[in-house]
Chain A
Amino acid sequence: MPERVIQPYVREELDGRDIGEAVVGDVERRLSVWERVSNIDAVRKLSVLVTLVVAWELYTRISDINELMFPTFSSTGTALYNALVNEGLLINVWNSLSLLLTGYGIGVGIAAMLVVFGVWTRFGSDLLTTLTAMLNPLPAIALLPMAMLWFGLGPAAIVFTLLHSIIWPVALNTHSGFMGVSETQRMVGRNYGLRGLSYIYKILIPAAFPSILTGLRIGWAFAWRTLIAAELVFGGQVADTSGQLGAEGSSAGGLGWIIFQNQMENQTPYVFAGLFAVILVGIIIENGVFRNVEDRTIRRWGMQIG
Chain B
Amino acid sequence: MTDTTTETHVRPEFVVERLEAARDVDVERRLSLFERISNVNAVRKLTILLGLVVLWEGYTWIGKVEPLLFPSFSASASVLWETLLSGLMLEKVWITVYVLVLGYAAGLFLAAALLTFAVMTRIGSDFLSTMTAMFQPLPAISLLPLAMLWFGLGVPSLVFVTIHSVLWAVALSTHTGFMSVSETLRMVGRNYGLRGIPYVFMILVPAAFAAILTGMKVGWAFAWRTLIGAELVFGAASGEGGLGWMIFERGDNLETPYVFAALFTVIVIGLIVENLIFRNVEIGTVQKWGMQR
Contact = CB atoms under 8 A, between A and B. Distances in A.
- Are A and B direct contacts in the complex by CB distance below 8 Å? yes
Interface of A: 44-45, 48-49, 52, 68-69, 122, 126-127, 129-130, 133-146, 148-150, 218, 221-222, 224-226, 228-229, 232-233, 235-237, 239-240, 255-256, 259-260, 263, 268, 271, 274-275, 278-279, 281-283, 285-286, 304, 306
Contacts of B267: 134-135, 137-138
Interface residues of B, number: 66
Contacts, number: 173
Contacts of B229: 139, 141, 225-226, 229, 232-233
Contacts of A279: 134-135, 137-138
Contacts of A268: 146, 149
Contacts of B259: 145-146
B145 A233 contact: no
A133 B271 contact: yes
B167 interface: no
Interface string B174-199: 00000000000000000000000000
Nearest to A268: B149
A229 B139 contact: yes
A232 B144 contact: yes
Given A225-B141, A229-B226, 12 more contacts: A44-B126, A136-B270, A137-B274, A139-B228, A144-B232, A145-B248, A149-B251, A228-B142, A232-B233, A240-B238, A271-B145, A274-B142
A285 B138 CA distance: 12
Contacts of A139: 224-225, 228-229, 266
A93 B4 CA distance: 69
B96 to A, nearest CB: 11
Contacts of B44: 122, 126
Contacts of A138: 263, 266-267, 270
11 contacts: A48-B130, A139-B229, A142-B244, A145-B247, A146-B251, A149-B251, A221-B222, A225-B226, A239-B236, A256-B142, A306-B293
Interface string B31-54: 000000000010011001100100
B22 interface: no
Contacts of A260: 145
Given A126-B44, A148-B251, A224-B139, A229 B271 contact: no
Interface of B: 41, 44-45, 48-49, 52, 69, 122-123, 126-127, 129-130, 133-146, 148-150, 218, 221-222, 224-226, 228-230, 232-233, 235-238, 243-244, 247-248, 250-252, 254, 256, 259, 262-263, 266-267, 269-271, 273-275, 293
A232 B228 contact: no
A275 B143 contact: yes
B244 A228 contact: no
By secondary structure, the B interface counts as helix
Contacts of A134: 49, 267, 271
A286 B137 contact: yes
A150 B45 CA distance: 29
Nearest to A145: B251
Contacts of A136: 270
A135 B268 CA distance: 10
B145 A226 contact: no
Contacts of B123: 48
Contact of B222 (A148, A225, A256): A225
Contacts of B274: 137
B117 to A, nearest CB: 13
B235 to A, nearest CB: 8
A263 B273 CA distance: 34
Contacts of B149: 68-69, 263, 268
